[in-house]
Amino acid sequence: MQKHLKKFFPFLPTAIALIAPAAALAVVGSENIVPNTIAPINNIVTVIRGIIRFILVVAFIIAFIMLLIGGIRWITAGGDEKGVAGARNMITAALIGLVVILVAYAIIRLVEIFFKVEIISGPIQIPQYGD
């Protein structure tokens, strides 16, 4: 038990510092300081639209980062054939991923245009606190 406590102890002040302000600011007396004015999402289409957008953006960012890492690995391979081959495979996989993501986006846009529905082209609504 003491071994685990010793390993956890360096992180304890950080955890307390992160939790304490939230607890202190959440309630003063019996009054809630943080207003509860964020509108609930009652429309499942909005949630699905947000999920699809999020997946497309995250997938594109990951594929782009993989492309950059592959390029850096190629540069730093220093003529090593295994290193260059691994970097080439990573770049190829990243480019295939980018193409798949762009094709998925194009198919979604075509469905939107042909069937006159809004899947990902609707306005982006960011929840905000009330006035």
Q: What is the pLDDT of residues 105-121, one digit of tens each?
A: 999 999 989 998 888 88
Tell me whether residue 51 is in a domain: yes
- Looking at the 3D structure of the chain, how many domains does it have? 2
User: Residue range 6-29: average pLDDT?
Assistant: 57
Answer yes or no: do 69 and 110 share one domain: yes
Q: Which long-range contacts (CB under 8 A, 24 or more apart) does 46-55 make?
A: 46/125, 49/118, 49/119, 49/120, 49/122, 52/108, 52/119, 52/120, 53/120, 53/124
The whole domain housing 61 covers: 44-115
Q: What is the pLDDT of residues 19-61, one digit of tens each?
A: 655 555 555 555 656 566 666 667 787 788 888 989 999 999 9
Answer yes or no: do 20 and 69 share one domain: no
Answer yes or no: do 48 and 17 share one domain: no
pLDDT at 131: 46
Residue 68 banded pLDDT, cuts 50, 70, 90: very high
User: Residue range 73-94: average pLDDT?
Assistant: 93
Q: Say what percent of the chain tops pLDDT 70.
A: 62
